[in-house]
Structure 1
Amino acid sequence: MIIHSFFKNPLLICILFLSLISCGGGDDDGPIPDPPDPTPLPRSAQDVIDDFNALNFNVGTNDVQLESLVEGIFWNFRLIVPEGATAANQRPLVVRLHGAAQSGSTTAHQSTACLVEPAFEGKDVFILSPNSNGMLWYEQANIVQILALMDLVTSNLNVDEDKVVMTGYSDGGNGSWFYAQYYQDLISAAIPMATSYNTANNAGEINKINVPLYVIHGSEDELFPLDITEGFVDESKDAGSDITFVIADGLVHNEPCDYQDELDKAVDWLYNDIW
């Protein structure tokens, strides 16, 4: 399980403590002030697990706030729970990363009625949709959030861990690429949409991604030009990655719900070719 090893890894958790210490001048003309309260310790992994298990998830849509490893810092997410999920009938998990990650919208994770819910209607899947908290999906704080939430859901609910897909649009699509590239053991497929993600690592090397991807891009995307995205895809394919690349004729960037038909086809690919 991710969370137990993940929370113990100091390279993955970066918590900054700010302590303010003031010293008096040495005059003996008044009482010695009480020392400041000590900086509170971070919450433990078990604290987070216990709080998650105390939540009451109903079948259908659950909008949740969970206190993170840092006291007073919360993860906000939507979890859609299917009917009939049991230990003997585990269901797939769809991790959906919203677009406009840096907008700071406090409700962006609730926009699942566009694309992801219709695409998986009738499939009886869990849908996990976190809020980016105004940061890109591959920034450190969101890596912590994503890894923790995925482990909490897969470890404590009736999820089929062999059937986990990550999808997203724009910034969320870039995030889908990122987790497919660097956390390949956590998902079985990724469906990025309207993206511009360079798979070269810091050394400029392009390595094979072992997770199959179904990449969808609008031919008229004015934010992420098609030729740039197609170039990134071709480079990754040349490195051995299994990528189905679909050009959505006439689609622009700022109309994400227009991608519905293409995402429906991607879900067919997922069920027919991957799961």
Structure 2
Amino acid sequence: MKTTLYLFATTLLLMLPPNANAQDALKQFEARQYSDADGNSLSYRILKPKQYDPAKKYPLVMFWHGAGERGDDNQRQLVHGMADFASAEVMEKYPAFVVAPQCPKNQKWANNDWSADQHTMSEQPSTPMRLSLELIDSLQKEFSIDADRIYVTGLSMGGFGTWDALQRRPKQFAAAIPICGGGDTALAEKIASVPVWVFHGGNDTVVKTSRSRDMVQALKEAGGKPKYTEYPGVGHNSWSATYANPEVYKWLFSQRRSS
């Protein structure tokens, strides 16, 4: 409980008011809601490529936020990283759909203990994760999305969600960028062929740095070639530097799903 409260407080402290450019960028995200046949719903925001042309195919990026952004306002999930994705520079170089669902309060993208040294992936996804994966399928039917360029990323609670989604659908995603999260090392072989760039702070006391290190090592032992960036002396916030790095976008959007 203490770890969860600290994670929430840490994220809130980092929620600085965006500058004018960031505010303008975030206004581009359209508010929507996805509902399944049983009435379960997931609020989300979607950024569309400028001058969207249905005759062309575009990448899709799914972003899962951290614990501090949970709620029902369909706004809070945009606070970290999304202004970077929606910046004029990134949108011009890499026209893409960017989708940011919001996890309801007291729920998780992946049902595991963030403070644990390791975990075994649950047999069934959490409801928010199940709806997120269904949302991807739904958007592929609605828009002209390149099935070979669907990417997943997320931070903290969303970092765990990124690993969870990747391990549940190892053949769907072209690349993943999990930030300060952790996955099930026993399932590393399933995703060894997927390009992954992992990020973590070297002094993270909320989600142990070893969670990322262990996943990277497990992927290497399974024959994978993951990229790993660890920020020396950095605590839990390893996402600001990551999403502000132009090389991250260059790498991400260059990836294509392997046949």
With normalisation by structure 2, the TM-score equals 0.71
Q: 2-side partners of 1:113 and 1:265: how far apart?
A: 21
1:116 and 2:82 are equivalent in the alignment: yes
Q: 1:96 aligns to what SS in structure 2?
A: strand
How does 1:79-118 map onto structure 2 within 5 Å? Answer: 79-100=46-67, 104-107=70-73, 110-118=76-84
1:197 and 2:197 are equivalent in the alignment: no
Report if aligned partners of 1:77, 1:131 keep a CA contact under 8 Å in 2.
yes
Q: 2-side partners of 1:198 and 1:234: how far apart?
A: 12
The structure number with the bigger radius of gyration is 1
**1:128 alignment partner in structure 2:** 99
1:182 and 2:168 are equivalent in the alignment: yes
CA separation of 1:119 and 1:74: change in aligned 2, threshold 3 A: closer
**2:157 alignment partner in structure 1:** 171
The Cα offsets for residues 163-209 of structure 1, whole Å up to 9 and x where unpaired, read as 110000011111111222220222111000111323225xxxx5241
CA RMSD, 1 decimal: 2.5
Q: 1:192 aligns to what SS in structure 2?
A: strand
**2:248 alignment partner in structure 1:** 266
Deviation at residue 68 of structure 1 after TM alignment: 2.6
With normalisation by structure 1, the TM-score equals 0.68
Q: 1:245 aligns to what SS in structure 2?
A: strand
Runs of 4 or more consecutive aligned structure 1 residues displaced over 3 Å after TM superposition: 107-111, 258-262, 271-275
Report if aligned partners of 2:48, 2:96 keep a CA contact under 8 Å in 1.
yes
Amino acid at match of 1:213: V
**1:56 alignment partner in structure 2:** none
Amino acid at match of 2:60: L
Deviation at residue 247 of structure 1 after TM alignment: 1.0
How does 1:15-94 map onto structure 2 within 5 Å? Answer: 60-71=28-39, 73-94=40-61
Query: Aligned pair count?
Result: 210
**1:245 alignment partner in structure 2:** 228
**1:156 alignment partner in structure 2:** 142
Stretch moving more, 112-121 or 222-231: 112-121
1:141 and 2:127 are equivalent in the alignment: yes
Report if aligned partners of 2:34, 2:135 keep a CA contact under 8 Å in 1.
no
Report if aligned partners of 1:194, 1:224 keep a CA contact under 8 Å in 2.
yes
CA separation of 1:250 and 1:109: change in aligned 2, threshold 3 A: farther
The Cα offsets for residues 65-121 of structure 1, whole Å up to 9 and x where unpaired, read as 2333223x32211111112222322211010011117x7422466433521331463
The Cα offsets for residues 133-181 of structure 1, whole Å up to 9 and x where unpaired, read as 2322133312430221001111111211211100000111111112222
Q: 2:251 aligns to what SS in structure 1?
A: helix
Q: 1:265 aligns to what SS in structure 2?
A: helix
**Structure (1/2) with the larger helix percentage:** 2
The Cα offsets for residues 213-260 of structure 1, whole Å up to 9 and x where unpaired, read as 110111121112323431232022211223111112332114743443
Long gaps (5+) in structure 1: 1-58
Higher relative contact order (CA 8 A, sep 6+): 2
